[in-house]
A = this chain, B = another copy of it.
Amino acid sequence: MQFEQLPSRLLENAVSELAKLPGVGRKTALRLALYLLRQDRSLSSSLGESIIKMREEITYCKVCHNISDTEICSICASPSRKHNVICVVEDIRDLLAIERTGQYHGVYHILNGLISPLDGIGVDDINISELGKRIENNDIDEIILALAATVEGDTTAFYIYRNLGKDGIAFSTISRGISIGDDLEYIDEITLGRSISDRIPYQEQVKAR
């Protein structure tokens, strides 16, 4: 389909901005823009403002980099969580998915991405060095690598194990009951819960290669 010129510059701007969102093509963007035009202007203004405000003012937990309105997120601040077990996840959606299982009682570390040379995302673009400092400065017994079963997830897991590992820390990955190529957030809760309780020591997996 050719990209025809829309009859208004204002509409064209909104459509091309909406089409920058992942999974939103130009056709969908036009549908969304026309929907907004039909609705009361309060919808567009609250949508636009909430997006801008979120991006400008969002803050992250100083410990685990979870999105949080407080300096330390409620999980890191909770005395009932095991602070010597860190579950490393790609982003907050994976944290929410694991929390939903009710199977995990440790704390988290949110990388905010995975190492992906093809997308230009390197070690310094995600929160890996912060994880290193956490491991150095605290008594950590176990690191659970709960990353996607993809090339990027595997690369990131291996990098963390190789560079941040030290004596006395057990590394594990969530068990590969999840299919290769699947994103964590789409797994059903029972499978995901099982894959945490059945986690496999990472050293054994590396040796087996």
| Contact status of A22 and B44, CB under 8 A, knowing A7-B68, A13-B53, A92-B7 | no
Please state the number of chain copies in the assembly: 2
Interface of A: prevailing SS? helix
A209 on the interface (CB 8 Å rule)? Answer: no
Instruction: Assess A20 versus B37: contact at CB under 8 Å? Given A10-B53, A92-B7.
Output: no
Q: Are B96 and A34 in contact (CB under 8 A)?
A: no
A14 to B92, CA, bound (A): 15
Please, how many angstroms separate the alpha-carbon atoms of A45 and B46 in the complex? 13
The distance in angstroms between the C-alpha atoms of A9 and B67, with both chains bound, is 10
A side interface size, CB within 8 A = 61
| Chain B residues in 8 Å Cβ range of A96 | 4, 6
Do the beta carbons of B36 and A54 come within 8 Å of each other? yes
Candidates B37, B49, B68, B185; contact of A48 at CB < 8 Å: B49
B28 touches A23 (CB 8 A): yes
Docked-complex contact A44 and B37, CB < 8 angstroms = no
Inter-subunit contact B113/A10 (CB<8 Å): no
Q: Taking the nearest CB of chain B, how far is it from the CB of A102, in angstroms?
A: 12
Do A185 and B27 have beta carbons less than 8 Å apart? yes
Please measure, in the bound complex, the distance between the C-alpha atom of A51 and the C-alpha atom of B49, giving whole angstroms. 9
Interface positions of A (Cβ within 8 A of B): 2, 4, 6-11, 13-14, 17-18, 20-23, 27-28, 30-38, 41, 43-59, 66-69, 73-75, 91-93, 96, 99-100, 112-113, 185
